[in-house]
Amino acid sequence: MIHIEGVLLVIIGILLFELIIFIHEFGHFFTAKLCGVKVNEFALGMGPKLIKFKKGETLYSLRLFPIGGFCAMEGEDAESEDNRAFGNKSVWKRMIIVVAGAVMNILLGFVLMMITLIPAEQFASNKIAKFDKESVSSEYLKVGDEIKSINGYDIYTSMDLQFALATAKSNDFKFEVIRDGEKLTFDHVKLAENKKTSDEKKDGTDTKETSESSDEEGTMRRDFWVEGIENNFGTLMQQTFLQTGSTVRMVWASLIGLVTGQFGFNDVAGPIGMTSAVSQAASSGLERSFGDALSNIVFIMMMITVNLGVVNLLPLPALDGGRLIFLIIEAIRRKPVKPEHEGWVHAIGLVLLLIFMAVISINDIIRLFR
């Protein structure tokens, strides 16, 4: 039975991943059609065509390898005399088409986030409800404190709280809290250290959202519990919006951390690493129930689609953000950059991106064997 459930979860994971790709490319496709751009082909997957059909002027295809997709627009990468070519449309229309894929990914993240939150009895807040018996942070913090920032990272949700604590380099924190309507700052706040693994469910919180325990002795752990927020339609929508925003902020902060050296190369995962993460999340959830395993997969997919949306908007060649930069330059100069020059920049960027992905994939494989 477990074997069948495992296979089913793999299929669901693949379908969700394909949904992420489909939503991204559909964003480009839908806005291209809306702006009157001719779309030559809309493809899901890469490699040889498995299924294809033509409707109107557009060829639709399903391809063998479920690792990507594309929306091929007329005049996208070369000059075209067609009035409906991408390059012949106004700058603002091309900007909309370029950013639509990433925006759709983030909107999908919103929907997946809502799906993961619906079953929760309560949502975890950022307001302290009580402390562990062996709490160290209670020397500074008090019950009722609303945590506003940790080490300069703004706290709006339990996800922000987890990220700020998990990425800390030492057990020495700067907390900003609201206490009795007044903002207070405490330097050198410490948390308790782990002595054993604890899976206790904390009062007024959801275990899946707020557990900070670790199997490793000597590591710090969150030594306070937070208040719960009742799950109703209003709070569900609020938490979905806030936690999707927290995910976007987390991705952005992680990218900055990579550039500044806060995170190392081993903290980056490619497609193989993400597949491994999905597999581990599914296996962990399956130990409790099929529903938990499915919820874990949906949550990981939410992270992946938001990552894809944010990364695609980075101002780097070969990414949508790189194309957007050229369009902004065109809008400022009131004339486009020569297509051959832009083409060379994107080609070089694509080669560098492929090399980077290859190195990341090799690193993922090494980690799997370790």
Domain of 206, CATH number, reads: 2.30.42
Same domain, 135 and 98: no
Instruction: Say whether both 155 and 227 belong to one domain.
Output: yes
Assess whether pLDDT exceeds 70 at residue 73.
yes
Instruction: Find the helix or strand (DSSP H, E) in which 202 lies.
Output: none
**143 and 232 together in one domain:** yes
Q: How large is the average pLDDT for residues 235-250?
A: 95
The strand pairing partners of 122, in sequence order, are: 230
Does residue 124 form part of some domain?
Answer: no
Do 100 and 151 belong to one domain? no
Same domain, 262 and 149: yes
Give the integer Cα–Cα distance in Å for 263 and 253: 10
Q: Residue 57 catalytic?
A: no
In the three-class reduction of DSSP (H, G, I as helix; E, B as strand; rest coil), residue 150 is classed as strand
Residue 59 amino acid letter: L
Q: What is the pLDDT, as a whole number, of residue 198?
A: 41
* Amino acid identity for residue 47 in this structure: G
CA angle 337, 342, 347 (to 5 degrees): 180
Flag whether 297 is in a domain. Answer: no
Q: Quick one: which of 212, 143, 211 has its CA closest to 180?
A: 143
What are 167-195's pLDDT values in tens digits?
A: 888 889 999 999 999 999 999 999 988 76
Token pair in block for residue 125: 């807040």
C-alpha torsion 233→17→100→160, nearest 10 = 50
Claim to verify: residue 86 and residue 143 sit in the same structural domain: no
Whole-prediction pTM: 0.82
**Confidence check: pLDDT of 162 > 80:** yes
Domain containing 109 equals: 2-117+305-369
* Domain total in the chain: 2
The answer on 137 and 261 residing in a single domain is yes
The catalytic position among 25, 76, 209, 342 is: 25
Under 8 Å between Cβ of 191 and 220? yes
The string of pLDDT tens digits covering residues 266-275 is 667 766 666 6
Q: What average pLDDT does the structure give for the chain?
A: 85
213 pLDDT tier (thresholds 50, 70, 90): very low
